[in-house]
């Protein structure tokens, strides 16, 4: 990762950690999942309101490292207003990005601010921090009631 991208990565992570978007339990939601990373203690609850196949609202609560919190913040900002299928596609692209499976620059460019998480792939323990909110969101969309963990 070049220095410019590293600096942007740090700025986005710090901004969304300090001032997370869509933080807090909403009054109305119809999908929920809880995520937990036992290795580092990251914990995230994701609340989603889906109406007519559209993610009308998505919010989160929890505690964790800056990467986990900023990932949840960006995820909620980007997924809100999308069709459920689009949210699932974003999950797939994000997961492939942070695990190093996605190298299509056009797709990465389309991901906007999420592209800054490309650097996480170089730190395997941090991949779980970045992807926990996303796995939790996907489980909430599918009404999977079990607690999501970053461990197999």
Residue position matching structure tokens 């997924």: 79
Q: What does pTM read for this prediction?
A: 0.90
CA-nearest of 38, 52, 2 to 148 is 38
Task: Catalogue all structural domains in the chain, each as residue range(s) with its CATH number.
Answer: 3-149 (3.90.1010.10)
pLDDT over 60 at 34, yes or no: yes
Give the CB-side neighbour count of residue 88, counting CA atoms within 13 A. 9
- Model confidence at 44, in pLDDT bands (50, 70, 90)? very high
Percent of the chain exceeding pLDDT 70 equals 91
What token pair was written down for 16? 């969304």
Looking only at the bridges linking them, the beta strands covering 31-36 and 148-149 are parallel
pLDDT over 70 at 36, yes or no: yes
Tell me, what's the pLDDT at 151?
Answer: 57
> CB neighbours (10 Å) of residue 139?
20
Q: What mean pLDDT do residues 89-100 have?
A: 95
What token pair was written down for 65? 């490292």
Residue position matching structure tokens 């190298």: 103
**Secondary structure class of 45 (helix, strand, coil):** strand
Summarised one tens digit per residue, pLDDT across range 69-88 is 999 999 999 999 999 999 99
Alpha carbon dihedral 35, 36, 42, 43, in 10-degree steps, equals 50
Q: What mean pLDDT do residues 130-145 have?
A: 92
């Amino acid at each position: 990762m070049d220095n410019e991208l590293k600096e942007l990565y740090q700025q986005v992570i710090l901004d969304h950690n300090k001032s997370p978007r869509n933080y807090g339990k909403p009054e109305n939601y119809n999908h929920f999942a809880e995520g937990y990373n036992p290795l580092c203690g990251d914990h995230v609850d994701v609340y989603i309101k889906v109406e007519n196949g559209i993610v009308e609202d998505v919010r989160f609560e929890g505690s964790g490292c800056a990467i986990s919190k900023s990932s949840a913040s960006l995820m909620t900002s980007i997924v809100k207003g999308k069709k459920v299928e689009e949210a699932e596609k974003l999950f797939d692209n994000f997961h492939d990005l942070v695990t190093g499976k996605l190298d299509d620059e056009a797709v990465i460019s389309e991901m906007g601010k999420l592209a800054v998480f490309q650097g996480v792939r170089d730190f395997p323990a941090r991949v779980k921090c970045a992807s926990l909110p996303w796995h939790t969101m996907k489980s909430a969309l599918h009404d999977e009631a079990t607690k999501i963990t970053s461990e197999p």
